[in-house]
Amino acid sequence: MRMNSATNQCRIQSTFSKLAETKTPAFVAYVTAGDPTIDKCLGIIRGIADVGADVIELGVPFSDPLADGAVNQLAAERALKAGATLPKVLDLIREFRKTHETPIVLFTYLNPLYAYGFEKFVVDAEGAGADGVLLLDLPPDEAAQNAEFSTKYDLKNITLIAPTSPDDRIESLAKQAEGFIYALSRSGITGAQAAPSQSIGDTVAKIKKHTDVPVCVGFGITTPDQAAMVASVSDGVIVGSAIVNQIAENALEADLSHRIAAFVKPLIDATHG
């Protein structure tokens, strides 16, 4: 169990500040909330936190996840069939907060939030113990127009930056970033079978010219060697589909959470160096 004195207002900043003191890149783990069930998912994220994950991203299950590849689409389908809903995802975070202070970022599409109530979601997610949100289908320019993301709330609006973004777009996105930046190692949907681009260091350098916000890199990272390579040129490594695939393959095993923790640990160790 990893506990610290940080509150939900500063968990992301506190985590990255502590890592920066020793120049240690962060390991960010993604799982679909409620996959394969809410209870099993709680065990999984607790186990991932216990073996050293610095941030956990929880995907909110949605019936039409267009930005996701087959691995994450199937995870969302499993979670929805098992009864996962946005209120239950928030309850999952509340349970996690009883034992752990690892920062949590919610990945979601707009549809579930508007069905729930957009501003109500921001308030309730923050109250449950979430630290940030990444809205996959809300253009950053429109996000800036939403009062729900005003400074009166502490839920950080995480920014995605693609390697194909023009320089002026990278500058604009970097300057408005909060918490940390999710830099895509390559273009495409999640879970596609392609390794991280060897030019990711150039993309990270472009971003860091315009911000002090940590830059973490995801997409296509599946092995410790790949994690170490990405960690050498960024502030953090994000692994998602590889973990979700392990959950799918071991969903019926009694020791599911231990198997996932065992898979993630070498990736964390490679990232931390």
Question: Would you say residue 68 lies in a domain?
Answer: yes
Chain mean pLDDT for the chain: 89
Token pair of 240 as six digits? 């998602």
Say if 5 falls within a structural domain.
no
Catalytic annotation on 68? Answer: yes
Mean pLDDT of 2-19: 72
* 122-160 confidence digits (pLDDT tens): 999 999 999 999 998 876 666 555 555 555 568 898 999
Q: Is residue 215 part of a domain?
A: yes
Predicted confidence (pLDDT) at residue 118 exceeds the cutoff of 80: yes
Domains: count for the chain: 1
Residue 103 included in any domain: yes
Say if residues 132 and 108 touch (Cβ distance below 8 Å): no
Evaluate whether residue 1 is within a structural domain.
no
Is residue 26 in a domain? yes
Angle, CA 114 vertex, CA 113 and CA 120 arms, to 5°: 70
| Residue 66's CATH number | 3.20.20.70
Q: What is the pLDDT of residues 161-213, one digit of tens each?
A: 988 889 999 999 999 899 999 999 865 545 545 566 668 898 999 999 999 99
Give a yes or no: residue 111 inside a domain: yes
Q: What is the pLDDT of residue 4?
A: 37
Residue 4 lies in a domain: no
Range of the domain at 98: 11-272
From 35, 54, 57, 101, active-site residue: 57
Q: How far apart are CA 8 and CA 128, in angstroms?
A: 9
253: which 2 tokens?
């095993």
Catalytically annotated residue among 35, 68, 101, 131? 68
